[in-house]
Amino acid sequence: MKKLFYYILILILICFILPIVWVRKNKKNPNKDANPEEISVIEDYDYSKYTTVKLLHTKTNEVEEVNLDDYICNVVSAEMPATFELEALKAQAIVARTYTLYKIINSSKHKDADICDSSACCQAWISKEDRLNKWNEDVRIENWNKIVTSVNETRGKIITYEGKPINAFFHSNSGGSTEKPIDVWGGSGYPYLQVVQTSGEDNYKQYSSSITITKKELISKIKASHKDVEINFDEEDCIKILEKTEGGRVKTIKFGNVELSGVETRTILGLKSANFTFSIDKDNIKFDVIGYGHGVGMSQTGADALSKQGENYENIIKHFYIGVEIINM
C-alpha cells in the first residue's frame, strides 16, 4: 500500500509539477538559444527585404534594380585593388554593404534610386565586363574570383552600433590618422567615427602627392569663390595655417585677407587631402599633401596594411569604427 502511494506521488511529480518548473525557468529567458543582437536588429528593421538595390547609373541617368550581392562585388572591384589582401577586401565588402543599407534605410538623396555609381557622391561601381577588361588577361579570373570570395565569405554581414547599421564612411589613405566627420562636414558626428592611428600607410602610392601652381593661378582659383581676395606675397605670413584638426589636417588657413577651411582649400586647389603643407618660391607655391580622401572612417590602404600585419577583417573594422558589432543581416 505504502509502495503504491510513492508510485502515485512520483507520477504526479512527473506529470504536473516538473512541467510547471520547466516552463517558469524558460520564461525568464525566452531568447536563450538565439543571438540577442540579431533579434534586436530584426525587430527594428526587416533586413530580408533588402536583397536588391535600386542603382542609379549617373552617365545614363537610368535606374537599374540589381541583386545586393552582385552589386557589392561590383562596388568592391571598383573601390579596392584586387591585389590587396583578402581580409582587406572582406572588410571593404562589409563596409560597402553597410554603407548601402544605411542609404536605403535613411532615405537616399536620389529620387527613384537607393544609391548611385559615383564615388564622388555615393560609392564607386563598375560593371563586371568593364572591370574584367581593365585587368590583364592573365590575372582576370583570379582577380574576379578573389572579389567574389570576399563578398561570399562575408555574405549578409553588416556593421552596427547600438543595433543599427552605421554610416560606414571610408576613404583611400588616411595618411596615418583618420578624421572626425565634424572636422570635414560639420554636424554633430557619430560616436563610432573618431580619430584613429594606423601604421604602414606610408608604403602606398596614395600616401603622398604634391601640386605646384603659380602665384597668379592661386589667386584666380580662390577668386572664383572669394572675389575680394588679395595676397601680398612680399608680406611675411601672407599665407598661414591657423589651426589644425585633431586628425592633423588643416582646419583653417589664411590666404592674404581671406580665411578658408582646409576642406575648402582642398576642393579649390584639387588637393588629395586636407593634410598639407606649402612652400613659396619666386613664382610658385608648392603644396605637399599627405593621404588621399576625406579621412573619415575606414582607410582602404590602412585596411590592407593592417591585414599585412596579420589582422582579420573583424579587427580591421573594429579598428576604424569604435564600439561597433558585426552581425548577420
- By the criterion CB under 5 A, which residues form the site for Zn ion? 116, 121-122
Least Cβ distance, residue 93 to Zn ion (angstroms)? 19
Whichever of 74 and 307 has its CB closer to Zn ion, that residue is 74
Measure the CA–CA gap between 161 and 324, rounded to whole angstroms.
Answer: 5
Cβ atoms within 10 A of the Cβ of 173, count?
28
Is 49 exposed, middle or buried, given 0-12, 13-18 or 19+ CB atoms closer than 10 A?
A: exposed
The grid coordinates of residue 227 equal: 572675389
Cβ atoms within 10 A of the Cβ of 201, count?
25
Whichever of 127 and 199 has its CB closer to Zn ion, that residue is 127
Least Cβ distance, residue 89 to Zn ion (angstroms)? 23
- Rg of the chain on CA atoms, in Å: 27
Cβ atoms within 10 A of the Cβ of 20, count?
9
Least Cβ distance, residue 122 to Zn ion (angstroms)? 3
Q: List % helix, strand, coil for the chain (3-state, nearest 5).
A: 40, 20, 40
Does an H or E element contain 217, and which?
A: helix 215-223
Whichever of 106 and 312 has its CB closer to Zn ion, that residue is 106
Whichever of 122 and 222 has its CB closer to Zn ion, that residue is 122
Of the candidates 71, 63, 121, the residue with the CA atom closest to the CA atom of residue 96: 71
Whichever of 115 and 260 has its CB closer to Zn ion, that residue is 115
Least Cβ distance, residue 145 to Zn ion (angstroms)? 29
Least Cβ distance, residue 62 to Zn ion (angstroms)? 14
Residue labelled with grid coordinates 567615427: 193
Whichever of 9 and 121 has its CB closer to Zn ion, that residue is 121
Measure the CA–CA gap between 67 and 54, rounded to whole angstroms.
Answer: 9
**Pairing relationship of beta strands 258-261 and 250-255 according to DSSP bridges:** antiparallel
Least Cβ distance, residue 117 to Zn ion (angstroms)? 8
Least Cβ distance, residue 126 to Zn ion (angstroms)? 15
Whichever of 125 and 313 has its CB closer to Zn ion, that residue is 125
